[in-house]
Amino acid sequence: MKIFAIVILILSTPLSYAQKAPLLKKLKCSDAVFKAISSLGEPKEWRKSLDGSVSTDFESGGKVQVDAGADKSLITSIQNGVNLKLEFSAPDCKMKVLKISSSHGGFLDRDLDQLLKKEKMGVIYLWSPHMSLSVYELVEMKKYLSSLKISVTILLDLNADIDLANKSIQKFDLPLDYLKRMNSRKLEAFGATIHYPSTIFYKDGELIKRVPGFNGKKSLQDLIKKHLGVTL
């Protein structure tokens, strides 16, 4: 079995645009499937395996595989310490979580270093499904995130119940990427785990301020202006 898996990996080939058309024709609920994948991360180059599945790595790390069935499509994803198996069945194409588990991993110190290097400034928002106000703020933030004009990273409480977190994600139709766990010792040392929700501001490669508690749109805009010098 192990040798067979290796053979499949070796023989898998990049999935060109021309190859995608036949796949999409038989892939049930393709819009919902690729919407879910986009919420997990940015895919690299798709590859097709001998068993008919297609897979790719995410730009930010991790991987995803898509299997097309007669009346349903399956997504299997491993990313940021979260293992997911999702099902989309015709005709309603609603997402069903078949499996969700969490392991050590998530947003590590190296991910924080990369973020601080990549973005000149931004916000890290930490939430917990055990704190109702942090969930409420996530729902509200979804409405205006794009208007903030800066990078916003959403991270889950490292010790949160993953099933409860997923229920919040499903109930309020939030991106699956919000299940990415905070597992950075540098953020922990900065006080990220003291209270949920917490908002951390960074600029020019440095963490500069942690603000605990619920903010709301106007308060968050004022904090961004105060700590990052950005007028919204």
pLDDT bin (cut points 50, 70, 90) of residue 22 is low
Same domain membership, residue 212 and residue 128: yes
Residue ranges in the chain assigned as alpha helix (H): 2-11, 17-26, 30-40, 109-118, 132-144, 162-171, 185-189, 217-228
Give the per-residue pLDDT at 39: 78
Give the per-residue pLDDT at 186: 95
Mean pLDDT of the chain: 83
pLDDT bin (cut points 50, 70, 90) of residue 21 is very low
Give the per-residue pLDDT at 24: 53
Give the per-residue pLDDT at 97: 83
Residue-number span of the structural domain to which 40 is assigned: 2-102
Same domain membership, residue 135 and residue 35: no
Note whether 184 and 107 are within 8 A (CB): yes
Same domain membership, residue 197 and residue 144: yes
Q: Does the pLDDT at position 15 exceed 90?
A: no
Same domain membership, residue 33 and residue 119: no
How many structural domains is the chain composed of? 2
- Domain's final residue, options 34, 67, 102: 102
Same domain membership, residue 180 and residue 119: yes
Rounded Cα distance between 71 and 188, Å, is: 45
Q: Does the pLDDT at position 6 exceed 80?
A: no
- Domain's final residue, options 82, 102, 122: 102
Using one digit for the tens of pLDDT, what is the confidence trace for 80-109?
Answer: 677 888 889 988 888 888 887 766 668 889
Q: Does the pLDDT at position 2 exceed 60?
A: no
The predicted model gives 17-24 an average pLDDT of 48
Give the per-residue pLDDT at 59: 82
- Domain's final residue, options 72, 102, 132: 102
Q: Does the pLDDT at position 3 exceed 80?
A: no
Q: What is the pTM of this model?
A: 0.67
Q: State which of 18-22, 36-40, 179-183, 199-203 shows the largest mean pLDDT.
A: 199-203
Same domain membership, residue 153 and residue 95: no
Same domain membership, residue 83 and residue 187: no
The predicted model gives 51-73 an average pLDDT of 85
Q: State which of 38-47, 68-77, 85-94, 182-191 shows the largest mean pLDDT.
A: 182-191
Same domain membership, residue 224 and residue 118: yes
Using one digit for the tens of pLDDT, what is the confidence trace for 162-219?
Answer: 889 988 988 998 888 898 889 899 999 999 999 999 999 999 999 999 999 999 899 9
Rounded Cα distance between 164 and 71, Å, is: 29
Give the per-residue pLDDT at 14: 43
Structure tokens belonging to residue 187: 């953020």
Same domain membership, residue 117 and residue 79: no
Which residue would you say has higher pLDDT here, 24 or 49?
Answer: 49
Q: What is the CATH number of the domain that holds 114?
A: 3.40.30.10
Same domain membership, residue 96 and residue 80: yes
Same domain membership, residue 219 and residue 124: yes
Same domain membership, residue 129 and residue 166: yes
Ramachandran area for residue 65 (φ above 0: left; ψ -120 to 50: alpha; else beta): beta
Q: Which long-range contacts (CB under 8 A, 24 or more apart) does 7-10 make?
A: 7/50, 8/49, 8/50, 8/51, 9/49
Using one digit for the tens of pLDDT, what is the confidence trace for 126-169?
Answer: 999 999 899 999 999 988 888 888 999 999 998 888 889 988 98
